[in-house]
Amino acid sequence: MPLRAIIGAQWGDEGKGKIVDYLGQEAALVARFQGGANAGHTIYIGEEQTILHQIPAGILHPDTHCLLGNGMVIDPVGLVQEITLLMQRGIDIQGRIHLSSLAHIVSPLHKILDAYQESSRGPLAIGTTKRGIGPCYTDKVSRRGLRLGDFFNRSQAESILAEQLSQLEQQGIIASDQREELAAEMEKFWQAIAFILPFAVNSVELVHAYLQAGKLILAEGAQGTLLDIDFGTYPYVTASNTVAGNICTGLGIGPRQISEVIGVYKAYTTRVGSGPFPTELRDKVGTYLQATGVEFGATTRRPRRCGWFDAVLGRYAALLNGFDSIAITKLDVLNGLDKIKICVKYRGGDFPTIDLNLAEPEYIELPGWQQDLGQPQHFRDLPRAAQHYLRTIEELIGVKIGLISLGRERKQILVVD
């Protein structure tokens, strides 16, 4: 009963989609266990770019099934758009997308509330994706949320939504002149609900059927460890647990059923939205990484902040998730740099006890490589300086590298044996 997990080890956008796409070739089921349409996985097959927000990257393999697990918050309107896009690309999704009937549903009210809360935070805004994620998880733990299965009783779901709307109106969060616009949104929402309801499944039964049949499941993490609601850079985090521990509750399995956890790290660090980022580069190297790595959010198109690899946070992520191996992505973006730095320590303490806003990183400096990486078959074929850089990361984090991504295409992955 193999279940492999793919977990982001930084602030999201590590390139998990590409790793899931690569490993998804062997998987019978790819399952998401947390988050929602705040994620954005960009996958290139040849020149064709596909951005997925909710449907796991495994959908691009014709025989792989995909599950949106109970731990997710599903945006029906966005999901229908994604399904439509995939169908337009000629991808046969028939019978391959399954939605947990226990997953909570993001309504247009959640998106309004997300935008409202962000604007009322002023300079302390978190920089959310405004996809309604926080408000939907808030409703879930406040025990007034709506799960996909609850929509089978339409009139009850309608009255709960009407009650929520009237509360938002009373609080002045929704003005009366917004009613018409909202009515149009609600109409689209209900159409989307009708479209996706037939995809609803008993996900616990589904997952365990795959496990019992010994078929490979990939659990696809979204966001990254440093955005975890418990362990991340709180309050500048997302509203779910992004670490491997949440696979159990997000899919309905026991801890012993997870057979392997792979951590994905970008060869440098990026972050979208607000919050501390000790190794951030506000100089021309940062601009270089942003331009060369095309560091713009797949969901919001916001420019990503860029910085050096942070091995202090990297080690922390490895501890929290118990990585068996790691994948390093976007190594090629560092081609051509004279020197490359890695943060190995903070002056004055360690995360999470230190206030990261005050953390002063201490770096080691390694030589760069001034050549293209090409398409090496073996680790030893990489430039010496690149090998040294990767081995240093491995040592600092304490976990072996299993995969290296050297470019945006599916085939540009090096397996390290």
Q: Which residues are catalytic?
A: 13, 41
Query: Per rule CB under 6 A, is residue 126 in the interface with ligand IMP?
Result: yes
Query: Per rule CB under 6 A, is residue 40 in the interface with ligand IMP?
Result: yes
Count, residues near ligand IMP per rule CB under 6 A: 21
Question: CA of 324: how far to CAs of 170, 194, 226, 368, in Å?
Answer: 51, 41, 19, 28
Among 21-29, 189-197, 232-240, 321-329, which window interacts with ligand IMP (CB under 6 A)?
Answer: 232-240
User: In terms of CB distance, is 101 or 238 closer to ligand IMP?
Assistant: 238
> 121 is written with which tokens?
């935070």
**Shortest spacing between CB 114 and ligand IMP, in angstroms:** 7
Query: Per rule CB under 6 A, is residue 295 in the interface with ligand IMP?
Result: no
Query: Per rule CB under 6 A, is residue 27 in the interface with ligand IMP?
Result: no
| Residue span 169-198 as binding mask against ligand IMP, x where in contact by CB under 6 A, dash where not | ------------------------------
- In this chain, which of 9, 13, 108, 112 binds ligand IMP, going by CB under 6 A? 13
**Shortest spacing between CB 133 and ligand IMP, in angstroms:** 4
User: In terms of CB distance, is 73 or 200 closer to ligand IMP?
Assistant: 73
**Shortest spacing between CB 40 and ligand IMP, in angstroms:** 6
Q: Tell me how far the alpha carbon of residue 170 is from its chain's centroid.
A: 35
Query: Per rule CB under 6 A, is residue 10 in the interface with ligand IMP?
Result: no
- Contacting residues for 348 by C-beta, under 8 A, at least 6 apart: 354, 358, 359, 360
Q: Which of 290, 327, 292 is nearest to 413 (CA)?
A: 327
Q: Which of 302, 314, 381 is nearest to 351 (CA)?
A: 314
Residue linked to tokens 């202090």:
312
> 48 is written with which tokens?
């064709």
Q: What share of the chain is helix, strand, coil (3-state, %, to 5)?
A: 40, 20, 40
Query: Per rule CB under 6 A, is residue 139 in the interface with ligand IMP?
Result: no
- In this chain, which of 2, 28, 121, 127 binds ligand IMP, going by CB under 6 A? 127
Containing 23, the helix (H) or strand (E) segment is: helix 16-23
**Shortest spacing between CB 279 and ligand IMP, in angstroms:** 16
Cross-strand partners of 4: 218, 260
Among 17-25, 130-138, 374-382, 396-404, which window interacts with ligand IMP (CB under 6 A)?
Answer: 130-138
Query: Per rule CB under 6 A, is residue 222 in the interface with ligand IMP?
Result: yes
Count how many Cα atoms sit within 13 Å of the Cα of residue 203 in the half-sphere of its side chain.
31
Query: Per rule CB under 6 A, is residue 232 in the interface with ligand IMP?
Result: no
How far apart CA 181 and CA 111 sit, in angstroms, is 13
State how beta strands 260-266 and 325-329 pair: parallel
**Shortest spacing between CB 271 and ligand IMP, in angstroms:** 7
**Shortest spacing between CB 16 and ligand IMP, in angstroms:** 9
How far apart CA 264 and CA 357 sit, in angstroms, is 24
- Contacting residues for 264 by C-beta, under 8 A, at least 6 apart: 6, 7, 8, 9, 14, 15, 16, 19, 326, 327, 329
Query: Per rule CB under 6 A, is residue 310 in the interface with ligand IMP?
Result: no
Position closest to ligand IMP via CB? 273
384 CB-contact burial (10 Å; exposed 0-12 / middle 13-18 / buried 19+): exposed
- In this chain, which of 64, 107, 129, 412 binds ligand IMP, going by CB under 6 A? 129
Query: Per rule CB under 6 A, is residue 12 in the interface with ligand IMP?
Result: yes
Provide the binding-site residues for ligand IMP, judged by CB under 6 A. 11-13, 38-40, 126-129, 131, 133-134, 222-223, 227, 236, 238-239, 272-273
